[in-house]
Amino acid sequence: MSAPVHPGSDTPPTPDARRKSPPVDRVAFSVSALAVLAFIALALIAPDGFSEASSEVLTWLTGNFGWAFVLGATGFVAFAFWLMLSKHGKVRLGRDDERPEFSTASWFAMMFSAGMGIGLLFYGVSEPVSHLGTPPEAGVEPFTENAERFAMTYSMFHWALHPWAIYAVVGLALAHAWYRKGRTGGFAAPFEPLLRGRTAPAKLIDVLAVFATLFGTATSLGLGAAQINGGLDQVFGVEIGTGAQVAIVLVLTACFVVSAFSGIKRGIKWLSNTNMVFSVLLLLFLFVVGPTVFILDLAPSTAGNYLSSLPRISFRTGAYGGHDWLSGWTIFYWAWWMSWAPFVGTFLARISRGRTVREFVLGVVAAPSLVALVWFSVLGGTALNAQMRGGVDVAGITAQESQFFALLESLPLSAVSSVLVVLMIVIYFVTSADSASIVMGSLTSHGADEPNRWITVAWALLTGLTAATLLWVGGSSGGGITALKNVAIIVAAPFLVVMIGLCVALVKDLRGSGSTAAADAPRERAGTGS
């Protein structure tokens, strides 16, 4: 690619220009990479001071701005549904005569692949069980049927409408800027109505998007390494500890660095499709050998409780107590989803060309929310039933990474199912990190679809090193996973401001989308990611 087109341009690039190896955005890459390296160095040189400082920042942030995360996440849900129901819902993400590139069935399947991941495997059992023993609301007795109800309600709250509305807002803004307006550039492309050609703010936005993606991915990799450690302990007797988890991160980092350097997209796509099949097999296995009737009863009951409680719990800020619980769960989740928004939003945008705004919002928010309902009804329902009625003390296992495997041990074919889950986590680890590295490479290469492989490799290395560093530093005090969560919240705070600006820019863009001429010239982007 020759001279890059500014994100504000409404002139679509030619397909040939998009395929050429693009130049690196030296400013965005240098600032981002040096800041991450400084972060890693500081954490390794002074781990105690780093842990203390991050804890103080987190306490100040959640104490003074926890309400901002709560209102922001709920606001994105309202904004997404307003777009769907408004006159803007008819706007097509492309030319007026353009139709979707993928069938609806394929589109849903790819969204399922994007929505499934390490987090659902880690929290599918541990979150409902944790809420059962420590109910999220005051006055609810632990390990009661009422506690079960709240456990499932809050699990759905954290994994259904809110996260996918956050992703939908980002994906919609990117798809509209790319395919309707014909702009090039990275995450800053949708901000042109606000930036009006100013370069410095655009680069700052791309840098913040890189930070959010890197630390969000690092958090997932840390959770994945911890759960792989739990599975290896269950199957092969590998002791659970920080050293083992750091070693797992480093080994798997080497795997996705090789993947990023080789550029073999077919292999990553095959692995992703394989994992989707494994996920369905796991659900069917647990549904059949687990409490089938209880799961069938639980799913509609959970959906009703969730929807009826949604208006109240969406605005819960801890003003009347429970602030520590909110910081550890709800605020962490909202920050985590925002940190993943550049990555998932980019994926959703790339598979949604030709769809209307209404189709996009309905599909992106509704379909994955139904997947979350099925997932937590099966995994969470099996765990809750085992804890309450099956005599399996899943909650008594303090290491969250081992709870799922303890549940599997109580069921038939435990060795096979445990190996399957470990294999799934490994595949999700490699494919998610590989895809996130490509996104960060794109953000630091003027939004190119196929960034230079060395840039992608650099981001892959930095992501793995960040995850290993946080696990190591946090592990010195027994809180490796806590350290990952804390940093994810801190880094996502400025990105909340970016997302609010994104909503404003999108509305300004949509008001002029009917008269745009940019859609008349097709803009080609890379396919579907992993």
For residues 373 and 312, give the distance between their C-alpha atoms in angstroms, rounded to a whole number: 19
For residues 483 and 491, give the distance between their C-alpha atoms in angstroms, rounded to a whole number: 12
Phi, psi of 356 (to 5 degrees): -80, 165
How far CA 489 is from CA of 2, 43, 205, 223, 492, in Å, comes to: 38, 17, 18, 15, 5
In sequence order, what are the residues at sequence separation of 6 or more whose Cβ sits closer than 8 angstroms to the Cβ of residue 512? Answer: none
For residues 395 and 85, give the distance between their C-alpha atoms in angstroms, rounded to a whole number: 43
Angle of helix 292-313 relative to helix 265-289, nearest 10 degrees?
Answer: 110
Complete domains list, the chain, with CATH:
25-520 (1.20.1740)
How far CA 249 is from CA of 32, 265, 390, in Å, comes to: 22, 22, 35
pLDDT at 523: 42
pTM, full prediction: 0.88
Query: Could you list the pLDDT tens digit for every one of the 530 residues in the chain?
Result: 333 333 333 444 443 444 445 688 888 899 999 999 999 999 889 888 888 888 888 889 888 999 999 999 999 999 999 999 999 999 999 988 888 888 887 787 777 666 567 888 889 999 999 999 999 998 899 999 999 999 999 999 999 999 999 999 999 999 999 899 988 777 889 999 998 878 888 889 999 999 989 998 888 888 889 889 988 887 778 888 888 999 999 998 888 788 777 655 556 667 777 888 899 999 999 999 999 999 999 999 999 999 999 999 999 998 888 888 998 899 999 999 998 898 889 888 888 999 999 999 999 998 889 999 999 999 999 999 999 988 889 999 888 888 999 999 999 999 899 999 999 988 888 888 888 888 898 888 887 777 888 898 999 999 999 999 988 887 654 456 777 788 888 888 899 999 999 999 999 998 875 544 344 444 444 333 33
Q: If you compute the radius of gyration of the chain from its CA atoms, what whole number of angstroms results?
A: 22
Do residues 113 and 435 lie in contact, with contact meaning Cβ atoms separated by under 8 Å? no
pLDDT at 269: 66
